[in-house]
Amino acid sequence: MNLRKSICAGLFLCAVISADFGEESIFTRHFAARNFVAGEITQAELDAVLRAGVHAPSANNRQPWHFTVVRSQELAGEMIPNLVSGNIVIVVSAPEDTIKNGRGILDCGLAVENMYLAAQSAGLGSRIYTGPINSVNQKLKSRLDLPKGYSAVALVRIGRITSPTDATSAASPRQPLDTKVTYK
């Protein structure tokens, strides 16, 4: 295959992948999972989710995030009530100075969204949590063994759901695009 054909094939593949990512993940599977059911997450599934996280973009490519994978149901249950057996909670943390200046929060948010969409694309359920963050930072930092000088920014819960589309039927409405966009 010559160079031109290789480039065309590559562009076609990228278009197919991005079209699939857009339709499957952003518009149909972006809703927070509700109907978690008991069931284990395989290491391969977890790795795919974590890989999506480390591929997020970040300011100056600083990649400030750290992911603490909590498989212990006891510890995870102290962060998120009503967990279902087999759920995994990923604690996303960043250096405290980057949280104070806001950059770490945005960068971690991008990693969180990548993991959330990767999990939902793989047919798993996922939900993002920031409600418990103050309590996590006040009470659980040492038990979570967060890197020195880091604080938690968000939690990503992943688990099995009744079907990949269950969340869609229960999705919260979004405000209309024309109320959110201004053209100048």
Closest distance of CB 150 from ligand FMN, Å? 18
Choose between 10 and 57: whose C-beta lies nearer to ligand FMN.
57
Q: Choose between 45 and 113: whose C-beta lies nearer to ligand FMN.
A: 113
Interface with ligand FMN (CB under 6 A), residue from 8, 15, 17, 171: 171
Return d(Cα 172, Cα 92) in angstroms, integer. Answer: 25
Burial of 160 (0-12, 13-18, 19+ CB in 10 A): buried
From 39-47, 95-103, 127-135, 136-144, give the range in contact with ligand FMN by CB under 6 A: 127-135
Residues 7-36, interacting with ligand FMN (CB under 6 A): 31-32
Smallest gap from Cβ 152 to ligand FMN, in A, equals: 12
The two beta strands, 125-129 and 150-161, are antiparallel
Rounded-to-integer distance, Cα 79 and Cα 75, Å: 7
Sign of CA dihedral 144, 150, 151, 152: negative
Nearest approach in angstroms of CB 81 to ligand FMN is 10
Bridge partners, 162 (sequence order): none
- Residue 136 CA to residue 144 CA, distance in Å, equals 9
Nearer to ligand FMN, 15 or 171 (CB): 171
**Binding residues for ligand FMN (CB under 6 A):** 31-32, 127-131, 171-172
